[in-house]
Copies of this chain bind each other. A is one copy, B any other.
Amino acid sequence: MTDALIEAVAQGLHMVDLGRQLKVGMPQSPNHPQFWHTLPRRHGDSMRADGGSAANDMISTGTHVGTHIDALAHVSQDGKLFGGADAGSACLGGKYVEHGVHTIKPMVCRGVLLDVPTYLGVADLEGGYEITAEDIAGTINTQHTPVGPGDVVLIRSGWGKKFAEGAAYVGGPSGVPGIGEGAATWLAAQHIHAAGADTIAFERLAPGGGHAHLPAHRVFLVENGIYIIEALDLEELASRRLYEFIFVLVPLNIFGATGSPVRPLALVSA
């Protein structure tokens, strides 16, 4: 008995890692508990009678740090979560039982990269640039990569190159490029499953505007039940012009949480 998937994998895969390394000091939003890792026990601290030794770790962190996914429970509008659930009573015993990150199924599905700066003929988008519905549609047409129901759409702005710079990546005075309400509404109408970007807040931030206004989060998480993935590394996909791939994302199954750090992959046959 043959299995198409097993055979396809056996022929060889090319894998692109879309996740950022989790490292103490990496840029992250100050709204979330800082990522920290430390070694409580190192080799040399103690040794068993047989000469064996085990080192271990302690992590303290928010879930919206590094490359991460937003559960639907992350955002509410006028006191409501997706589907109209009351945002206050949705929290049972200190856990978001209904729309927590444990309700997101692992994703192994079609993924599409939308390389907006390449479409627009620029190296990277500027801080504060709003990617419009026309930019999205134009990129899709030029790339010949239609997007449809169940797809995961990754929107490249080029801003990801700043991750290594630290504070510049977060935006602040410069703002951050990204989609606005128009492009979000257009994408939601295609019934995509999730959308991601190479920035920390996924959507356009006005220069100096901070997180006061996040309409794409409302459109996706609250109005349409579409997951959001942030702080992706999309540079290798873009440089290889890999616009269509199998997208793999496995959130940690944290009961009742609003998000999870993730390490998404793009896969194609070798």
Contacts and interface: CB of A to CB of B under 8 A. Distances in A.
Interface of A: 3-11, 13, 15, 17, 19-25, 30-34, 36-64, 73-79, 81, 87-88, 90-96, 102, 105-106, 108-110, 212-214, 217-218, 244-246, 248, 250-259, 261-263, 265, 267-269
Contacts of A53: 75-77, 79, 87
Nearest to A111: B6
Contacts of A21: 102, 253-255
Given A5-B9, A38-B38, A258 B96 contact: no
B63 A60 contact: no
Contacts of A30: 25
Given A6-B268, A110-B10, A258-B55, A19 B74 contact: no
A186 B11 CA distance: 27
Copies in the complex: 4
Contacts of A42: 88, 91, 94
Contacts of A262: 250
A36 B55 contact: no
Given A33-B40, A37-B255, A52-B76, 12 more contacts: A4-B269, A6-B246, A33-B34, A41-B93, A43-B91, A44-B79, A48-B213, A53-B75, A59-B254, A248-B248, A250-B265, A252-B261
A102 B62 CA distance: 19
Given A59-B62, A64-B56, A45 B93 contact: yes
A75 B63 contact: no
29 contacts: A3-B269, A4-B7, A4-B11, A4-B269, A5-B8, A5-B13, A5-B268, A9-B110, A13-B108, A15-B105, A33-B56, A37-B40, A37-B95, A38-B38, A39-B256, A39-B258, A41-B93, A44-B88, A51-B77, A51-B79, A52-B75, A52-B77, A52-B217, A54-B258, A57-B62, A58-B58, A59-B59, A59-B61, A252-B263
Contacts of A23: 255
9 nearest CB pairs, A to B: A43-B87, A38-B40, A60-B60, A4-B8, A8-B8, A57-B63, A51-B78, A34-B34, A23-B255
Nearest to A256: B37
A94 B40 contact: yes
Given A4-B8, A250-B263, A55 B73 contact: yes
Nearest to A253: B21
Contact of A62 (B19, B48, B58): B58
A217 B248 CA distance: 29
